[in-house]
């Protein structure tokens, strides 16, 4: 058993998952175990992984139902703690780690003498540009601009490549599974940065294999994805209301901006999209899920 486990949450993207696994198995200068959390995929993911499972190249767990990204990472981190790993490396199934991505995290861990909440890798898109969806935040409205220093202080990051010590997870708790999808990583990273200094690690790079490097927005999205935005807006209210006056002001500006985008840019379903934004923000004001701790 290695001291690091890569936790990969997947749902119906077996081809991307296989690419992610292959790159994890080819890491250099540092090795990790691979724990795949399958959110009850229906595309043959389990069958595609049989050879990896039988040869003990990966550990495979099926949640039995689609728990979303938040539930998948909650499940996977709990499983990793049960198995006694020292470090947890979280990533989505469409992340393709470069060969030195793990060793860069371990170098940063030694350099910082373990005094951090989380470490976050740099996500690049398939053309080598920075992935806009995964820019770490240095403030509520500011994103990282320093891409030359070995480590850069940040306060929020995504789970595309997220490195945390098991002992920290035991103290801070697990991701909130009720978030289901979107912003669970922002909540979790901020929960950590409120307690500890946290860093982006410029030497740890993954390719985020997304179809587009444009930021998603409800104004252009299709009806079958509306439920995701209900989660997004509700979850964001939970996150930013604990930031006090600054957070509430940020939310006020954000809701106005998104409503304006829908009014002037959406080509269809304007009223439905406006209802989703307003109702979800209202729901977020009373959304109070409990943080669970590993026992």
Over residues 177-209, the pLDDT tens digits come to 999 999 999 999 999 999 999 999 999 999 999
Mean pLDDT value of segment 149-170:
98
Helix ranges (H only) for 55-183 are 68-83, 101-111, 166-172
Secondary structure (3-state) at 84? coil
What pLDDT does residue 215 have?
80
Secondary structure (3-state) at 247? helix
What pLDDT does residue 224 have?
87
- Whether residue 216 is predicted with pLDDT greater than 90 in this model: the reply is no
Q: Which among 206, 159, 232 has a CA at the least distance from the CA of 8?
A: 159
Q: How far is it, in rounded angstroms, from Cα 201 to Cα 122?
A: 7
Q: Which residues contact residue 178 at a Cβ distance below 8 angstroms, ignoring those fewer than 6 apart?
A: 70, 287, 289
- Whether residue 278 is predicted with pLDDT greater than 90 in this model: the reply is yes
Q: How confident is the model at residue 52 (pLDDT cuts 50, 70, 90)?
A: very high
Q: Of 61-65, 79-83, 102-106, 222-226, which range is least confident?
A: 222-226
Q: Which residue has the higher pLDDT, 224 or 19?
A: 19
Mean pLDDT value of segment 10-16:
97
Strands 151-154 vs 198-208: parallel, antiparallel or unpaired: antiparallel
Q: What is the total residue count of the chain? A: 295
Asked whether 158 and 131 are in contact (CB, 8 A), the reply is no
- Whether residue 163 is predicted with pLDDT greater than 90 in this model: the reply is yes
What pLDDT does residue 141 have?
87
């Amino acid at each position: 058993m290695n001291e690091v486990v890569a936790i990969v949450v997947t749902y119906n993207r077996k081809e991307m998952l296989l690419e992610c696994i292959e790159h994890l198995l080819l890491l250099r200068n540092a090795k990790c175990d691979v724990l795949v959390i399958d959110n009850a995929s229906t595309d043959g993911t389990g069958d595609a992984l049989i050879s990896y499972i039988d040869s003990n190249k990966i550990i495979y767990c099926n949640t039995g139902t689609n728990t979303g990204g938040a539930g998948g990472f909650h499940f996977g981190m709990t499983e990793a703690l049960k198995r006694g790993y020292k470090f947890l490396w979280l990533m989505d199934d469409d992340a393709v780690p470069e060969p030195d991505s793990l060793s860069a995290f371990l170098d940063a861990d030694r350099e910082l003498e373990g005094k951090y909440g989380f470490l976050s890798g740099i996500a690049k898109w398939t053309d080598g540009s920075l992935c806009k969806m995964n820019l770490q935040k240095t403030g509520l409205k500011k994103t990282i601009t320093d891409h030359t220093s070995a480590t850069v202080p940040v306060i929020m990051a995504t789970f595309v490549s997220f490195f945390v010590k098991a002992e920290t997870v035991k103290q801070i708790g697990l991701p909130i599974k009720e978030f289901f999808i979107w912003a669970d990583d922002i909540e979790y990273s901020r929960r950590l940065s409120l307690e500890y200094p946290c860093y982006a690690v410029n030497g740890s790079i993954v390719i985020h294999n997304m179809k587009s490097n444009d930021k998603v927005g409800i104004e252009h999205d299709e009806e079958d994805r509306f439920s995701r935005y209900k989660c997004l807006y509700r979850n964001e209210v939970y996150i930013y209301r604990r930031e006090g006056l600054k957070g509430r002001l940020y939310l006020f500006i954000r809701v106005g901006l998104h409503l304006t985008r829908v009014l002037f840019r959406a080509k269809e379903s304007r009223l439905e999209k406006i209802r989703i934004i307003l109702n979800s923000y209202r729901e977020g004001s009373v959304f109070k899920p409990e943080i669970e701790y590993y026992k």
